[in-house]
Homo-oligomer: A and B are copies of this chain.
């Protein structure tokens, strides 16, 4: 048995069996042009020798690598982990594998990661851009003809396939629910203008307040990235203002989880003393106690769809671009209630 890498070639198998390399090649592909006995013998020997189909060589012949590149901000955030798991599932079902790059909201790191991914000649890429990205950051991919799909976050000015959620509508549902319960002072936690999800979710908040003639009070809007830690800080900040809110809409579930911790630090309980609504409905949201009322954004479907969009785009590079906005739903659980007093 050979010990090193890539040493078992068609030639070696052919020599070993005293047949032609063409016969070995056909046999390994299960061609009926080769007698069954020979075919089985070739396949058995190839397996014993540790022969592996060489995708690098095959991809030069077919101009396909069957790799889908995925560029994400941070996979330790469960929202992105759920998207990635769904993309991988669909990719696998279509015989593709995922090449992963992450950049932690750093534009400079995103540049490097996307360039590196490109060098592997993926058949296409799914990108959730770092905050603050401009269309120019993707010019080199577009110029190279790499099929691209934007996921969740949308860069204005890029004419690319996009799969995301109707984020503005999600927050409208959240604020309407709180107003219907009787809340009049509603905070927004983890406001961020650097990503489209941040802008759209916040716009839904502002618009709904305006429609109900409720003032927008910057003192109860906490600006920060959507992390647990910022939820913890944010809730304390808005509770410290003179006329504190009785409820808060959070940019995402992570912020809401942090805010629930922050409430408990103050001896307050979500759904009793204060109302909280998250956004995304990550798996964890249903398992909290009290379970989190939140906006369901269908990460699994979003991930599946983005991979399907990409596979379609690879097959039809010149088709018109498509834009899919999933419609979010309010999931009522236990963290919202009428205001106390």
> In the bound complex, what is the Cα–Cα distance between A119 and B97 (angstroms)?
10
Contact assessment for A145 and B65 in the assembled complex, using a CB-CB cutoff below 8 Å: no
Contact of A118 among B47, B52, B95 (CB under 8 A): B52
> In the bound complex, what is the Cα–Cα distance between A268 and B65 (angstroms)?
55
> In the bound complex, what is the Cα–Cα distance between A48 and B139 (angstroms)?
10
Which of A147-173 touch B at CB < 8 Å?
Answer: 147
A59 at interface, CB cutoff 8 A: yes
- With A55-B121, A317-B3 as known contacts, state yes or no: A143 contacts B48, CB within 8 Å: yes
Residues of B within 8 A of A6 (CB): 63, 121, 145
> In the bound complex, what is the Cα–Cα distance between A98 and B120 (angstroms)?
11
**Minimal Cβ-Cβ distance residue in B for A228:** B287
> In the bound complex, what is the Cα–Cα distance between A273 and B88 (angstroms)?
43
Which of A1-53 touch B at CB < 8 Å?
Answer: 1-8, 47-53
> In the bound complex, what is the Cα–Cα distance between A55 and B119 (angstroms)?
6
**Minimal Cβ-Cβ distance residue in B for A95:** B116
> In the bound complex, what is the Cα–Cα distance between A81 and B142 (angstroms)?
30
A232 at interface, CB cutoff 8 A: yes
- With A78-B76, A121-B55, A144-B51 as known contacts, state yes or no: A289 contacts B317, CB within 8 Å: no
Residues of B within 8 A of A55 (CB): 119-121
Which of A179-187, A200-208, A257-265 forms part of the interface with chain B?
A: A257-265
A307-337 vs B: 1/0 string, CB under 8 Å? Answer: 0000000000110000000000000000000
Residues of B within 8 A of A240 (CB): none
Q: List 5 A-B contacts (CB under 8 A).
A: A5-B63, A50-B142, A53-B119, A74-B85, A88-B100
**Interface on A for B, CB 8 Å cutoff?**
1-8, 47-57, 59-60, 63, 65, 67, 74-76, 78, 81-82, 84-85, 88, 92, 95, 97-102, 112-113, 116-121, 123, 140, 142-147, 228-229, 232, 257-258, 260-261, 264-265, 283-284, 287-289, 317-318
Q: Which 5 A-B pairs have the closest CB atoms?
A: A50-B143, A50-B144, A261-B289, A264-B289, A76-B81
